[in-house]
């Protein structure tokens, strides 16, 4: 997986959500995290997001800036404050709460 950016098709303006997904190569867990993130963004953010994939095998020094200790890790940089979610992002409700898209009281926690 190369470092890069997946953009939703929107007019030229800043996205409502700026997301960085830190991975280590094209492992099944990394690919699963990206697929889950893309699905969640399409379903819940519809064109209001930007995803940047950061492969720490290619650029390990980039982990320091966002204090990445485990991978895959998703970092929301916009809107502030920054938020982090560690794991493959398979629990949609947990991701939505972690990104502040859905309030914590609106899911059953399973």
φ/ψ of residue 49, rounded to 5: -150, 160
- Each residue of 20-31: pLDDT tens digit? 999 999 999 999
2, two tokens: 């190369």
| Residue 12 exposure: Cα atoms within 13 Å on the Cβ side | 0
Domains of the chain, start order: 4-106 (3.40.30.10)
**Hey, which bits of 1-110 come out as E strands?**
4-7, 17-23, 49-55, 73-78, 83-86
Q: What is the pLDDT of residue 79?
A: 92
Residue 101 has pLDDT above 70, yes or no: yes
Give the pLDDT score at 15: 77
**What is the percent of the chain where pLDDT is above 70?**
80
* Tokens encoding 17: 């959500």
């Amino acid at each position: 997986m190369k470092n890069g950016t997946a953009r939703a098709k929107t007019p030229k303006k800043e996205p409502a959500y700026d997301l960085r997904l830190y991975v280590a190569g094209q492992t099944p867990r990394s690919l699963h995290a990206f697929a889950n993130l893309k699905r969640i963004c399409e379903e819940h953010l519809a064109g209001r997001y930007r995803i940047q994939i950061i492969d720490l095998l290619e650029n390990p020094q980039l982990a320091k800036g966002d204090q990445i200790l485990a991978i895959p890790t998703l970092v929301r940089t916009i809107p502030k404050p920054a938020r982090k979610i560690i794991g493959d992002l398979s629990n949609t409700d947990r991701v939505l709460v972690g990104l502040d898209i859905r309030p914590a009281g609106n899911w059953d926690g399973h």
